[in-house]
């Protein structure tokens, strides 16, 4: 990891993990405990919210929760695949919106059938992500500043091309997905997220490509020495991140039935917090080299549930963001404490 | 610490409350259906909707409603409004008065709400047909912008050049206003040399309006503003420039605008009726829950977005009327209220 | 070091971080004025100076953190919180404005301290810490104001925020000038300033030479918070209301200006003058778009390109100087 990467990741725990591994402590168990903890939290909070307001478990409420979570999960995945390489992608929101608007344009302005338009939107997302990757690799600069700049550029170009106007003539069939209910409780969008989660799991666990990505993130030098083209890995991850962000944006388009340029806030900033909360809560280390797809899924789901619950408990829409920030802070602090505790215990 | 809501004058809330009581006396015996829980949900924070909070509270009191609560999303973002509405369903609200965060984007959630059996009405901004909203009640913004522009141009020489400052692009009314101003200008032989939109918030309005006037003040004869914040900022800017050469017609009843009218910097303002919208809207929502139906052949007006439009009224207030602008809008609200049930509902 | 001066004044100026941006600024002003003389009209100059004064505080707030090799995502959130606190104290509690201003600055300082302490004691990256605190501060802001601005701003504050005292020079230029001088002096002459740059350049070496990295981190973040709060307060005066959305769009600008001014993100090298001219350039550019009725959305694109170009150049210069010094380039 270059000194630039340390900018973001803080202390590298790779030394800790190596120690743990050497001491015979299975990191697999470590990982598992994180996901298990999340499941416990989800059940716990669901119980709390349901006791305060039984309507929390109503079909409509669960359906809406699942649908909103689906998008947040996808946003979390988008950031996750970049964090794995030890980098960042601040442009997730900008790429997501740009790709969604591209999809909308294809559907409305060019009249493409929706599957082609969606494919087009995903391609735009992947291309923008790949552009990020190439810039990062070629310049040797930190992904933070590159994606900070491209966030601005992508969003600006999108706004310029669309003149900040929404596409409101989205194909009715496509918009139908966002409204469809399976068994009255499940949104197709959530199924898409689950599918993507499975695909990502397979990628990182079973394919050589996934393993090479993880190796690059863990120790770029060593990976290079063992013949992995880290440049290609990084570009691939950014392209994948772009495609996932595009998917999130397109899901939103289906949900609202319109492609609106402000869907992710100014410059796409509004996606930054959910983009980090999911992976961080889920145990994906900011330093890279370690990933937990299930953790990100559960983390994003938990965050969505907390937001829904806070709204329900009349905490007031205005205080929700404070709680989410506190949650993120708490999560990183706990994670740090947990890891240093484990290291100390092993060394003791 | 509770932030102060902006009110037209210090007396206005009291005046409006008294007015509401008087109105209630005219109401045909309202069914004391205290199970109606009505939510008034704007697209985001904005001074225009402040009157809705009061209107809801007064309606709840006057018609014995379970609740008529003003719930505002923390930002002008469709996703937030959607989440808020979904949460309100779970919280037990069973009637919704919504300012669409987007005229098409909000149709999905409106239909879902209607699917749970709740009457849904679009207020102050319309949903694009087809939707499950019972109707849309608001200012005929196109007409209001048209009238305002005609007023302005009536005060300017032939061939005048005017600038148009207006609201959010996601606001369903913005395009209607832009088109109406264009139409009025064409008819009067004037020209709209610049339209600046998406400035219905203090920072972009300050930045863009001041920058525009700094560069182009010499080139224009008049300004028409069709959104609250640009009206306020433009009034202040004209006051700073000071020479009263540029004529302006604003919108709504912000104190800054009213004072500028009194002092001669602004020619007048187009009043809207947010209080009436909220008050009558809550009343009708309750009636609909109580078994009334909207008449199939009701005399709706139509605008670019919907065929089921009810005009909540607009009136021009010049220097002679500003002192009493509250009374002007009360008169319109009273008229609308008295005739509403017989005109639009089948009970 | 002396080797850099071997080429005399010209070489020294070229190595200097602020000379380049100054030249570009002068050129830009000349070109724009030639195309539209209204650019130098008193009203326009006044607006430009107002924008520059506030934006400079935002840029400096981030610059200090870049100097220690970190980043502060909560600059905007701190500014917004201080702004509404300032306005709210005056409106709701009737606090006289000088006291309210001091208290609001104090809030910014405390917020920065919190950031610094969290980073220094936990070792977690400033990026993630300030991402979390950004949400917390913004959330507190929204919770208090419920997204409604505070309208009652005392006339004195409005006047300070908008009026001029010498031709087109607005009052707001004064605090800005004071900060510019103060920061330059601190970084150039005071030991804390040099400690900041040392930590940014090489934290380990700094530690070994007796500098407490933790203390420096905390000090830098506190200063950053203070400057962000100052920007927020100035903006309240200029906008004439306590708007909760103050700070929402500061992120890009806070990085663009220092970077254009020659700052290196890994720390240890920043230029007060360069950052200042970076602010000036961005302000001129934004104005130009309105002046020529060009689509304002172009601003975003150009800011992004400017950042890329500037970091590219800075990186190139860094690589070149390291090669000259004979060190291996990573």
Per the listing, tokens 């850099």 go with C4
What tokens does A54 get?
Answer: 């039984």
Greater model confidence, B10 or B43 = B43
Give the model's pLDDT for residue B33: 52
Q: Mean pLDDT for chain A?
A: 85
What tokens does B18 get?
Answer: 């008294």
Q: How many independent structural domains does chain C possess? A: 1
Residue B326 pLDDT greater than 70, yes or no: yes
Nearest alpha-carbon partner for B101 in B131, B68, B126, B133? B126
pLDDT (tens digit per residue) in B58-114: 999 999 999 999 999 888 888 889 999 999 998 999 999 999 988 888 998 999 999
Alpha-carbon torsion (A296, A299, A305, A307), positive or negative = negative
Residue A258 touches chain B, beta carbons under 8 Å: yes
In angstroms, rounded to a whole number, what is the distance separating the alpha carbons of residues C239 and C226? 20
Residue C330 located in a structural domain: no
Residue A21 — very low, low, confident or very high, per pLDDT cuts 50/70/90? very low
B5-13 long-range contacts, Cβ below 8 Å, gap at least 24?
A: B5/B47, B5/B50, B5/B53, B5/C148, B6/B47, B6/B50, B6/B254, B6/B255, B6/C148, B6/C151, B7/B50, B8/B253, B8/B254, B8/B255, B8/B258, B8/B325, B8/B326, B9/B255, B9/B326, B12/B326, B13/B54
Nearest alpha-carbon partner for C224 in C82, C99, C49, C87? C82
Residue A177 — very low, low, confident or very high, per pLDDT cuts 50/70/90? confident
In this structure, what CATH number is given to the domain that contains residue A213?
Answer: 1.10.3470.10
- Alpha helices (H) along B91-171: 107-115, 141-154
Buried b (16+ CB within 10 A) or exposed e, B199-216: bbbbbbbbbbbbbbbbbb
CB contact under 8 A, A53 and B89: no
Q: What is the DSSP letter of A167?
A: B
B183 contacts: CB under 8 Å, gap ≥ 6: B146
Would you tell me the crossing angle of helices A92-108 and A230-256 to the nearest 10 degrees?
60
In angstroms, rounded to a whole number, what is the distance separating the alpha carbons of residues A255 and A246? 14
Residue A2 touches chain B, beta carbons under 8 Å: no
Residue A60 touches chain B, beta carbons under 8 Å: yes
Residue A41 — very low, low, confident or very high, per pLDDT cuts 50/70/90? confident
Q: What is the DSSP letter of C309?
A: H
Domain that holds residue A156: 3-347
Q: How many independent structural domains does chain A possess? A: 1
Alpha-carbon torsion (C258, C262, C264, C270), positive or negative = negative
Residue B227 — very low, low, confident or very high, per pLDDT cuts 50/70/90? very high
Residue C10 located in a structural domain: no
Residue C10 pLDDT greater than 80, yes or no: no
Residue A27 touches chain C, beta carbons under 8 Å: no
What residues of chain C, 8 to 47, have a C-beta less than 8 Å from chain B? 36, 38, 41, 43-44, 47
How far are the Cα atoms of A87, B7, B65, B112, B336 from residue B14, in angstroms, in the given order? 58, 11, 21, 37, 21
In this structure, what CATH number is given to the domain that contains residue C220?
Answer: 1.10.3470.10
Count of Cβ atoms closer than 10 Å to residue A25 Cβ: 16
CB contact under 8 A, C243 and B1: no
Residue B328 touches chain C, beta carbons under 8 Å: no
Residue C279 located in a structural domain: yes
Average pLDDT over residues C19-23: 82
Give the model's pLDDT for residue C287: 81
Q: Mean pLDDT for chain C?
A: 86
Asked if B65 and B59 touch (Cβ cutoff 8 Å), the reply is yes
Nearest alpha-carbon partner for B266 in B222, B205, B200? B222
In angstroms, rounded to a whole number, what is the distance separating the alpha carbons of residues C161 and A344? 55
CB contact under 8 A, B79 and A252: yes
**At residue C57, what are phi and psi to the nearest 5 degrees?**
-60, -40
Residue C300 located in a structural domain: yes
CB contact under 8 A, C238 and B206: yes
- Report the residue of B1, B104, B305 to disrupt the A interface, i.e. the one with the largest count of A CBs within 10 Å: B104
Average pLDDT over residues A315-341: 83
In angstroms, rounded to a whole number, what is the distance separating the alpha carbons of residues B333 and B311? 11
Asked if A113 and A341 touch (Cβ cutoff 8 Å), the reply is no
Q: Mean pLDDT for chain B?
A: 85
Using DSSP's 3-state secondary structure scheme, residue B71 falls into coil
How far are the Cα atoms of A102, A122, A266, A303, B104 from residue A255, in angstroms, in the given order? 16, 17, 20, 20, 11
**At residue A126, what are phi and psi to the nearest 5 degrees?**
-65, -40
B51 contacts: CB under 8 Å, gap ≥ 6: B16, B274, B275, B278
Host H or E run for residue B271: strand B268-271
Residue A339 pLDDT greater than 80, yes or no: no
Asked if A277 and A307 touch (Cβ cutoff 8 Å), the reply is no
B110 contacts: CB under 8 Å, gap ≥ 6: B96, B98, B100, B120, B122, B127, B131, B132, B133
Average pLDDT over residues C233-243: 89
Cis (ω within 30 of 0) for the bond into A329? no
Extended strands (E) in chain C:
164-166, 169-170
Residue A12 — very low, low, confident or very high, per pLDDT cuts 50/70/90? very low
In angstroms, rounded to a whole number, what is the distance separating the alpha carbons of residues C255 and C66? 9
Asked if C181 and C273 touch (Cβ cutoff 8 Å), the reply is no
Give the model's pLDDT for residue C39: 80
Per the listing, tokens 């359906």 go with A63
Residue B22 pLDDT greater than 80, yes or no: no
Q: Which chains touch C (3 or more CB pairs under 8 A)?
A: A, B
Count of Cβ atoms closer than 10 Å to residue C192 Cβ: 14
Residue C293 pLDDT greater than 80, yes or no: no
pLDDT (tens digit per residue) in B292-306: 889 888 889 888 889
In angstroms, rounded to a whole number, what is the distance separating the alpha carbons of residues A247 and A253? 10
Q: Which chains touch A (3 or more CB pairs under 8 A)?
A: B, C
In angstroms, rounded to a whole number, what is the distance separating the alpha carbons of residues C43 and C46? 5
Average pLDDT over residues B322-344: 85
Which of B74, B212, B215 shows the shortest C-beta gap to C147? B74
Asked if B291 and B49 touch (Cβ cutoff 8 Å), the reply is no
In angstroms, rounded to a whole number, what is the distance separating the alpha carbons of residues A287 and A272? 18
Give percent of chain A above pLDDT 70.
90
Give the model's pLDDT for residue A244: 97
Give the model's pLDDT for residue C328: 53
Domain that holds residue C136: 39-323
Count of Cβ atoms closer than 10 Å to residue B273 Cβ: 26
A63 contacts: CB under 8 Å, gap ≥ 6: A181, A184, A185, A186, A187
A163 contacts: CB under 8 Å, gap ≥ 6: none
Residue C6 located in a structural domain: no
Which of C38, C144, C246 shows the shortest C-beta gap to B215? C38
Give the model's pLDDT for residue B4: 38
In angstroms, rounded to a whole number, what is the distance separating the alpha carbons of residues C18 and C270? 10
In angstroms, rounded to a whole number, what is the distance separating the alpha carbons of residues C286 and C44? 12
Give the model's pLDDT for residue A26: 57
Which of C47, C88, C146 shows the shortest C-beta gap to B210? C47
What tokens does B146 get?
Answer: 């048209």
Alpha-carbon torsion (A305, A307, A312, A313), positive or negative = positive
Residue B107 touches chain A, beta carbons under 8 Å: yes
Give the model's pLDDT for residue C11: 54
Give the model's pLDDT for residue C326: 64
What tokens does B36 get?
Answer: 């109606």
What tokens does A100 get?
Answer: 């969604």
Cross-strand pairs, A186: A182
Question: Contacts of residue C287 in chain B, CB cutoff 8 Å?
Answer: 211
Residue C1 — very low, low, confident or very high, per pLDDT cuts 50/70/90? very low
Nearest alpha-carbon partner for C244 in C100, C136, C114, C144? C144
Concatenated DSSP letters of C182-226: HHHHHHHTSHHHHHHHHHHH-HHHHHHTT--HHHHHHHHHHHHHH
pLDDT (tens digit per residue) in A223-269: 888 888 889 999 999 999 999 999 999 999 999 888 988 888 888 88
Residue A331 touches chain B, beta carbons under 8 Å: no
Residue A20 — very low, low, confident or very high, per pLDDT cuts 50/70/90? very low
Average pLDDT over residues B164-175: 84
């Amino acid at each position: 990891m270059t000194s630039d990467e340390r900018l973001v990741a803080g202390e590298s725990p790779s030394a800790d993990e190596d120690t743990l591994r050497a001491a015979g402590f299975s990191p697999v168990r470590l990982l598992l405990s994180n996901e298990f903890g999340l499941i416990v939290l989800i059940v716990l909070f669901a119980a709390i919210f349901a006791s305060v307001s039984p309507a929390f478990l109503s079909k409509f409420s669960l359906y809406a929760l699942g649908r909103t979570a689906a998008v947040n999960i996808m946003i979390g995945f988008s950031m996750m695949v970049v964090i794995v390489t030890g980098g960042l992608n601040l442009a997730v929101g900008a790429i997501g919106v740009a790709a969604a608007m591209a999809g909308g344009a294809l559907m409305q302005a060019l009249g493409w059938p929706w599957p082609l338009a969606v494919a087009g939107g995903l391609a735009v997302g992947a291309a923008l992500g790949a552009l990020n990757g190439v810039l990062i690799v070629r310049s040797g600069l930190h992904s933070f500043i590159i994606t900070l700049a491209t966030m601005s550029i992508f969003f600006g170009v999108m706004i310029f091309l669309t003149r900040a106007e929404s596409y409101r003539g989205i194909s009715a069939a496509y918009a139908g997905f966002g409204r469809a209910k399976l068994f009255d409780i499940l949104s197709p969008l959530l199924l898409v997220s689950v599918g993507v989660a499975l695909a990502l799991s397979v990628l990182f666990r079973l394919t050589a490509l996934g393993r090479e990505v993880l190796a690059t993130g863990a120790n770029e030098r060593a990976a290079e020495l063992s013949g992995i083209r880290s440049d290609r890995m990084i570009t691939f991850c950014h392209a994948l991140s772009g495609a996932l962000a595009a998917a999130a944006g397109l899901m939103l388009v289906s949900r609202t039935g319109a492609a609106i340029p402000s869907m992710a806030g100014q410059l796409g900033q509004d996606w930054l917090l959910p983009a980090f909360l999911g992976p961080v809560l889920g145990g994906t280390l900011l330093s890279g080299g370690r990933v937990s797809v299930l953790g990100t899924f559960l983390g994003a789901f938990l965050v969505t549930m907390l937001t829904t619950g806070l709204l329900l408990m009349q905490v007031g829409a205005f205080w929700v963001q404070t709680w989410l920030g506190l949650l993120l802070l708490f999560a990183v602090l706990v994670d740090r404490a947990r890891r240093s505790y484990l290291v100390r215990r092993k060394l003791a | 610490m509770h932030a102060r809501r902006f009110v037209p004058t210090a007396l206005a809330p009291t005046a409006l409350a008294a007015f509401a009581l008087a109105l209630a006396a005219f109401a045909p015996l309202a069914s004391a259906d205290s199970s109606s829980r009505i939510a008034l949900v704007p697209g985001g924070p904005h001074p225009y909707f402040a009157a809705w909070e009061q209107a809801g509270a007064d309606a709840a009191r006057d018609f014995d409603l379970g609740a008529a609560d003003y719930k505002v999303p923390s930002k002008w973002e469709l996703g937030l409004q959607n989440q808020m509405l979904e949460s309100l369903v779970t919280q037990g609200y069973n009637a919704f008065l919504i300012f669409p965060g987007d005229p098409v984007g909000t149709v999905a959630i409106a239909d879902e709400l209607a699917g749970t059996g709740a009457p849904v009405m679009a207020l102050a901004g319309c949903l694009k047909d087809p939707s499950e909203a019972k109707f849309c009640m608001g200012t005929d913004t196109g007409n209001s912008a048209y009238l305002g522009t005609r007023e302005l141009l009536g005060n300017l020489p032939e061939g005048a050049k005017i600038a148009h400052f207006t609201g959010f692009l996601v606001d369903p009314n913005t395009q209607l206003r832009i088109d109406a101003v264009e139409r009025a200008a064409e008819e009067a032989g004037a020209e709209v040399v610049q339209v600046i939109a998406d400035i219905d918030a203090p920072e972009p309005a300050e930045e863009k309006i001041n920058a525009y006037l700094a560069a182009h003040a010499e080139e224009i004869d008049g300004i028409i503003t069709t959104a609250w914040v640009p009206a306020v900022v433009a009034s202040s800017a004209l006051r700073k420039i000071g020479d009263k050469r540029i004529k302006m017609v604003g919108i709504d009843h912000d104190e800054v605008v009213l004072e500028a009218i009194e002092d001669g910097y602004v020619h007048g303002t187009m009043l809207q009726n947010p209080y009436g919208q909220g008050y009558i809207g809550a009343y009708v929502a309750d009636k609909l829950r109580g078994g009334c139906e909207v008449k199939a052949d009701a005399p709706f007006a139509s605008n670019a977005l919907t065929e089921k439009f009810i005009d909540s009224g607009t009136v021009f207030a010049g220097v002679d009327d500003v002192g009493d602008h509250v009374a002007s809008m009360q008169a319109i609200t009273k008229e609308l209220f008295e005739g509403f049930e017989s005109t639009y509902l089948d009970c | 070091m002396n080797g850099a001066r071997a080429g005399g004044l010209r070489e020294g100026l070229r190595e200097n971080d602020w000379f380049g941006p100054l030249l570009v600024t002068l050129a830009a002003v000349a070109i724009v004025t030639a195309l539209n003389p209204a650019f130098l009209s008193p009203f326009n100059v006044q607006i430009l100076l107002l924008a520059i004064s506030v934006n400079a505080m935002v840029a400096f707030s981030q610059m200090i953190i870049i100097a220690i090799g970190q980043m502060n995502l909560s600059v905007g959130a701190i500014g917004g919180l201080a702004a509404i606190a300032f306005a709210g104290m005056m409106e709701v509690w009737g606090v006289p404005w000088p006291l309210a201003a001091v208290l609001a600055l104090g809030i910014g300082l405390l917020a920065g301290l919190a950031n610094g302490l969290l980073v220094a004691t936990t070792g977690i990256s400033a990026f993630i810490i300030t991402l979390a605190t950004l949400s917390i501060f913004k959330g507190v802001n929204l919770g208090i104001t419920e997204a409604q601005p505070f309208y009652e701003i005392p006339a004195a504050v409005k006047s300070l925020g908008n009026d001029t005292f010498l031709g087109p020079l607005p009052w707001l230029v004064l605090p800005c000038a004071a900060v510019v001088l103060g920061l330059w002096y601190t970084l150039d002459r005071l030991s804390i300033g040099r400690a900041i740059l040392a930590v940014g350049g090489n934290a380990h070496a700094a530690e070994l030479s007796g500098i407490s990295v933790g203390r420096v981190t905390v000090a830098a973040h506190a200063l950053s918070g203070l400057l962000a709060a100052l920007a927020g307060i100035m903006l309240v005066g200029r906008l004439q209301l306590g708007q909760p959305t103050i700070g929402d769009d500061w992120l890009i600008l806070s990085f663009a200006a220092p970077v254009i001014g020659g700052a290196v993100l890994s720390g240890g090298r920043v230029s007060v003058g360069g950052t200042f001219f970076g602010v000036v350039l961005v302000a001129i550019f934004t104005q130009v778009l309105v002046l020529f009725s060009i689509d304002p959305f172009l601003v975003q694109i150009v800011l992004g390109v400017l950042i890329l170009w500037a970091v590219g150049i800075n990186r190139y210069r860094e690589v070149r100087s390291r090669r000259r010094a004979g060190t291996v380039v990573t």
